[in-house]
Chain A
Amino acid sequence: MGAVDSGAERRVRYLLDRMGKSEREAFERNYFENDALFEEVAAAEDDLIASYLRGELGFWTRRRFRRLYLSDPRRRKRVELVSGLIDVARPLAVEQSALRRPSRVVLAAAYAAGILLPCIVAGWALVREKRAVVEIAELRAVEQTFTIVPETELLRGPGRAVRWRVPPGVRTITLHLSRPEQAGPYTARVLTPEGTVVWATQGLRDIGADLGLSVSASALPPGDYIVFLESENGGARAAEYSFSIAR
């Protein structure tokens, strides 16, 4: 267990350029001579990127990571790939769980009970986590787009659809739609459940198996929405989708 941990720790120190000269040279010689070790170092880099994106790095490590990885176009590309994967897999969970705070009543009761210090410590940990969450949002917001995958059927009633929380700073929301059976191009309309059209476009074409509809984030305040796609060859309704943006 100790050997594995120290190996993992060494790989991270190498990737963050925290090795001394002779240790670094020996480490590099090792991975040139050992294909398996090289693969472990490359895989450790994936882990490091994911840890950063999940907000798991300490302050100084995070800061060093940002200087090394966000200033280099090649490394930044890998960060964006992993960020894209996390985006696809889990758009909300990190932000929602980290932004929870204890209420004032709870804080008052804790103070009265003489347990304020642990609450301060817990609050500090929450703040640190929130900063990491904000940094994740900032990284995504640097791209200025946020992807939403609407449901492929209309889910009526509150609480039915997945609720998407759009990070601050996002300018464009991309609705990732599965391609209908009818061929395009399509006219797309985004409406509220009451029927108000908030966005519309024509000539939408698919790229591969899906379509992407770019909508200005300012046109989609928190609420429920429906997307209608109509084929421009005949005008029949090709597909319907729904999504919700959380408050």
Chain B
Amino acid sequence: MNSAERAAFKIFGGEPKQAEEQFRVLRQKLLCFFEWNRCSSPEDLAHETICRALRRIAEGAEIYADNPQSYFFGVARNLLLEEWKRSASDPLPMPENFEVEVPAEDTGGLSPLERKMLLGEGLRRLPPEESYLILRYFSDGPEPLCTQLNMSHNAMRIRVHRIRKKLEQYLIQRR
């Protein structure tokens, strides 16, 4: 374990597994933060945020926030402002027909047919009640399910979101 990692685990405290999980959640937040702010390369910016924050911590910077994740948010926010300034001075034009001309995402070499079949496989790997929930939720909307299962909309939304993430993870691993 190098000094940066030691510093990182010290930030989150607890057992290494717990710190690792918190780091995973932090990275996911950074990815979403940059994506929701319309950055073109969220993965690079998330990585840069973590590197900068760990470098400063290793150099002796103190974290005053109650929640260490706030520190990373501060670093991410500054990096976002840099990214916006850079984009303003060097903008990438959006093609006229962007909905068709967007380059195909990384599908791991799978055709649309194979992607759909993988989706079906992924659904079959879920417990039947989860497969039923996610399909019914997205096709019919939340209200019928919430009524049927006597759950609040928020609780249902979170549950389906976790199932979707599980499914997405399986699809990423299979690609």
Contacts and interface: CB of A to CB of B under 8 A. Distances in A.
B168 A15 contact: no
A169 to B, nearest CB: 12
A208 to B, nearest CB: 5
A85 B131 CA distance: 10
Contacts of A86: 138-139
Nearest to A56: B141
Contacts of B135: 85, 88-89
Interface in A82-96: 82, 84-90, 93
Interface string A94-129: 000000000000000000000000000000000000
Contacts of B67: 32-33
Interface stretch (B3-11, B51-59, B97-105): B97-105
A50 interface: yes
Interface of A: 4, 14-15, 17, 25, 28-29, 31-33, 35, 38-44, 46-47, 50, 53-54, 56, 66-68, 70-77, 81-82, 84-90, 93, 142-145, 147, 172, 174, 176, 207-210, 212, 214
Contacts of B134: 85
A81 B164 contact: yes
B158 interface: yes
Contacts of A41: 32
A212 B118 CA distance: 11
Given A71-B102, A73-B105, A143-B112, A85 B139 contact: yes
| Contact size range, B | 35 or more
A50 B161 CA distance: 12
Nearest to B66: A33
Contact of B29 (A31, A85, A90): A31
A43 B161 contact: yes
Contacts of A147: 116
A53 B120 CA distance: 19
Nearest to A24: B37
B139 A71 contact: no
Contacts of B36: 14-15, 17
B117 interface: yes
Given A38-B28, A174-B113, 13 more contacts: A31-B29, A32-B67, A32-B69, A38-B32, A47-B157, A74-B35, A74-B42, A85-B119, A85-B135, A85-B139, A172-B112, A208-B121, A210-B121
Contacts of A144: 112
A57 B32 CA distance: 23
B138 A39 contact: no
Given A90-B139, A174-B116, A76 B102 contact: yes
A246 to B, nearest CB: 18
A215 to B, nearest CB: 11
B116 A71 contact: no
A32 B103 contact: no
